[in-house]
Structure 1
Amino acid sequence: MKKVRIVGADQMASEVFDGATVVLSGSGGGLQEADHIAEAIEKRFLATGHPRNLTLIHGLGIGDGIATGITRFAHKGMVKRVIGGHWSWSKKMQELARTNEIEAYTLPAGPIQTLMRETGAGRHGLVTHIGLHTFADPRHGGGRCNDKATEDLVEVITLGGKELLWYKPIQVDFALIRGTACDPQGNLTSREEPSEMDAFAAAMAAHNCGGKVLAQVRDVLDESISPARDVSVPGVLVDMVCQFAAQTQTTGAAYDLSMSGMQRAPDTRAAMPLPDGVRYLIARRAAKELRADACVNFGFGVPDGIPAVAQAEGREIGWTTIEQGPHNGELLGGHLFGATRYPSAIVKSTEQFDFFSGGGVDIAFLGMGELDAEGNVNVSWLGDSIVGPGGFVDITQRAKKVVFCGTFEAKGLVVEHEGEEVFIRRHGDVSKLVKKVRHITFSGARARADGQEVLYVTERAVFQLTPNGLRLIEVPPGVDVQADVLDRMPFEVEVGIALSPCTESA
């Protein structure tokens, strides 16, 4: 029987050749990231100039936002092309894209991960509805994010009279994956990790393309992993393993078994900290859309404060899911987003994306960068930086109801509240409602055609998507509909609430 090859990270790094395609498994904040291997590859490049001209693929964000993860590869000449689902965890890589030093693409995280699964299965790319009428659609850019990105990675096709997207197959040379431990046969377990991520799909893609799977673990075991169901990646797929005893569960944090699902939830738990200021106002209003019997998804940013508000108000949250794989539990925010405490189940993120793609989510609460008159939302390209959608497209495109959460304006906005009353003390300098979004991460036209229920919740107004576009349906007490909302918008909107007497007489 095969025995695992235990080597140092430096030896792994020496295997990576110029021009190779490398898949990174994991999620931002250190969730199941093989950063010790990535660091060794970076050190080799800085010392020798090799490997060069790599193609880097990652479904979700990778790194701590400063030096680890994707940033390990953010050196001129080291990468030729990046296909990333989420870019904001590396400002240096964003800069290389902005200055056309690399070919920059962003695609939805689900298609990236499931394309790896299809590649490993020997199928001819991925055919899916996810991404239609968004930036991933060739008619809206095809995921290209700078002048240097010229190849068509996605095509529109028709099958059975239905329009779909074909994400073209990719030859994978290396997969960098991570587990908690490996056994003598090279089987990996992720039992102490907060997620399983897409390690299996990435490993299968590399192995079945004739490439190599480089795995990082905290522990090397003397006996086989038991029970066998704890194995997340079988040893037949693993070429080399490096042991990194200082491996942390997330960025800079020791292993916490409550995040891996290995500890039962206590009978009583401390209250989750409430969001502050305007984030609280938005979360408070959005929480009113919760239903006890619904399968719910909460996105990064403002939406991740909704569970705390619901808990404080005694609202039932429902069955929660996030793209990294956990179900239920206490949703964590910030750099720990993607992990939960005391989850009731953890599945592979590729399987979670299949669940999203099939319409398993009843209500999704997501952030909102820009909103236009058509109901389009942009979160994937803000200002001059590629952000990427992460799981946003997969979740919003098929959820039965979507509640977007974000401020009406940014930069300098000052808002106060007393009870239910909201007072805009200073308007923001930058409007988040625009005539036309720069990047279509969510398509209002597609949502209308599919009959999807969509709300847009801000601190001062709630809009609804209708067959005719946006409709203003609610403002809190204290907000002047005309001065604080309608006069601050760059486009006209249907008004579905009564205006104040002074506004009507004017």
Structure 2
Amino acid sequence: MKNKIIDRETFRSMLKDDMTIMFGGFMTVGTSDVLIDEILKSGIKGIIAISNDAGYEDKGIGKLIKNGQVKKLYTSHIGLNPLAGKMMSEGTLEIELNPQGTLAERIRSAGAGLGGVLTPTGIGTYIEKGKQIVEVRGKKYILEEPLKADLAIIRGSVVDKLGNVVYAKTARNFNPIMATAADIVVVGADEIVEIGSLDPERIITPHIFVDYIVKEDM
């Protein structure tokens, strides 16, 4: 059995410039602090980030934005991080805003191996600009393409050594779907337990989706 538990240095060795990285979390709840700090420490540049939001200026993905490590962000809102809005206006950070449900479905469709998702959300607005419009039974839909990543960093409340993940309440958010839509998935675990100690009914992300586990600081 592969030992999935790695140290921070091993995680940093996986990082490289111009990676597409998914960041689980919602207003930094369910975001891995330790893994973001290691990305910050690595100094990699040109990150294409996929995240529900831009975090705060000094918390979550906002740290990486502030440090100039993110070149493009796919997100649903940036209001919690005024710096992200300023950088977008100045042209130093490219941001593609997606309705939140659309963002989630684009990630989910990548994980499911689908060619995209048809959504009426955004029809007749700037959201549809440059996108393919598909008509089904007389109704127009935007074809939103899947979002896939080289790396997804997620956060689990309790993770067993095999990589089965239990989330804490609303910290679940984007984490489960992001775990299905990346080539490599690393979970920051608040607690690591022995195999077989988790109630199978509580496991949300099965171990087959998790490649590595890093212990979070508590």
Match of 2:13 in 1: 14
SS in 2 for 1:233: coil
Quote how far apart the aligned CAs of 1:77 are: 4.9
Tell me, yes or no, if the aligned pair for 2:54 and 2:75 is still in contact at 8 Å.
no
Task: Give the counterpart of 1:58 among 43, 51, 63.
Answer: 51
Change in Cα spacing, 1:160 to 1:95, as seen in structure 2 (3 Å) is: same
Assess if the C-alpha contact under 8 Å between 2:34 and 2:217 holds in 1: no
Equivalent residue for 2:189, pick from 217, 222, 227? 217
Point out the more displaced range, 179-188 or 7-16. 7-16
Q: Report the structure number with the largest CA radius of gyration.
A: 1
Native 8 Å contact 1:181 1:189 kept in 2: yes
Paired AA for residue 212 in structure 2: M
Alpha-carbon contact 1:113-1:198 (below 8 Å) kept? yes
| Structure 2 partner of 1:33 | 31
1:168 corresponds to 2:145:
yes
Does the Cα contact within 8 Å between 2:111 and 2:148 map onto a contact in 1?
A: no
Q: State the identity as a percent.
A: 21
Match of 2:211 among 219, 239, 251: 239
In 2, Cα distance between the equivalents of 1:89 and 1:36? Answer: 21
After superposition, the Cα gap between the structure-2 partners of 1:229 and 1:7, relative to the gap in structure 1 and judged at 3 Å, is same
Change (3 A) 1:99 1:238: same
In 2, the alpha carbon distance for the partners of 1:215 and 1:62 equals 20
1:81 alignment partner in structure 2? 72
What corresponds to 2:177 in structure 1? Answer: 201
Cα offset, 1:119, TM superposition: 0.5
* Cα 1:84/1:158, change in 2 over 3 Å: same
**Cα deviation per residue 1:202-249 (whole Å; 9 max; x = unaligned)?**
11011xxxx100111111102324320111111111111111141xxx
Does the C-alpha gap of structure 1 residues 77 and 33 become closer, same or farther in structure 2, counting only changes over 3 Å?
A: closer
Aligned partners of 2:88 and 2:54: how far apart in 1? 16
- Maintained 8 Å contact 1:70/1:93: no
CA contact 1:4–1:235 (8 Å) conserved in 2: no
Query: Aligned AA for 2:10?
Result: Q
Q: TM-score, normalised by structure 2?
A: 0.91
Query: C-alpha deviations, 1:11-39, integer Å up to 9, x for none?
Result: 323312211111111111x3111122111
- Which residue number in structure 2 is paired with residue 121 of structure 1? 112
Residues 185 and 224 in structure 1, CA contact (< 8 A), matched pair in contact too? no
Give the number of equivalent residue pairs.
218
Mapped partners of 1:33, 1:225: distance in 2: 24
CA distance 1:164–1:39, change in 2 (3 Å): same
Give the CA deviation at 1:112: 0.7
1:229 equivalent in alignment to 2:201: yes
Please report the TM-score for the alignment, with normalisation by the length of structure 1: 0.41
- Give the partner amino acid of 2:158: A
How far has the Cα of 1:4 moved from its partner? 4.5
Contact 1:4 1:241 in 2 (8 A): no
Q: Which structure 1 residue ranges, 4+ long, deviate > 4 Å from structure 2? A: none
Kindly tell me: are residues 194 and 95 of structure 1, through their superposed partners in 2, closer, same or farther at Cα, counting changes over 3 Å?
same
| Structure with the larger RCO, 1 or 2 (CA within 8 Å, 6+ apart) | 2
State the superposition RMSD in angstroms: 1.9
**Any conservation in 2 of the 1:131–1:137 contact (CA below 8 Å)?**
yes
Q: Tell me, what secondary structure is at the counterpart of 1:69? A: coil
SS in 2 for 1:33: coil
**What residue ranges of structure 1 are gaps of 5+ in the alignment?**
46-50, 139-151, 247-506
Deviation at 1:80, TM superposition (A): 1.9
Superposed CA deviations along residues 417-465 of structure 1, whole A, max 9, x for unmatched, are xxxxxxxxxxxxxxxxxxxxxxxxxxxxxxxxxxxxxxxxxxxxxxxxx
CA distance in 2, matches of 1:71, 1:83: 13
Determine if contact 2:107/2:148 at 8 Å carries over to the other structure: no
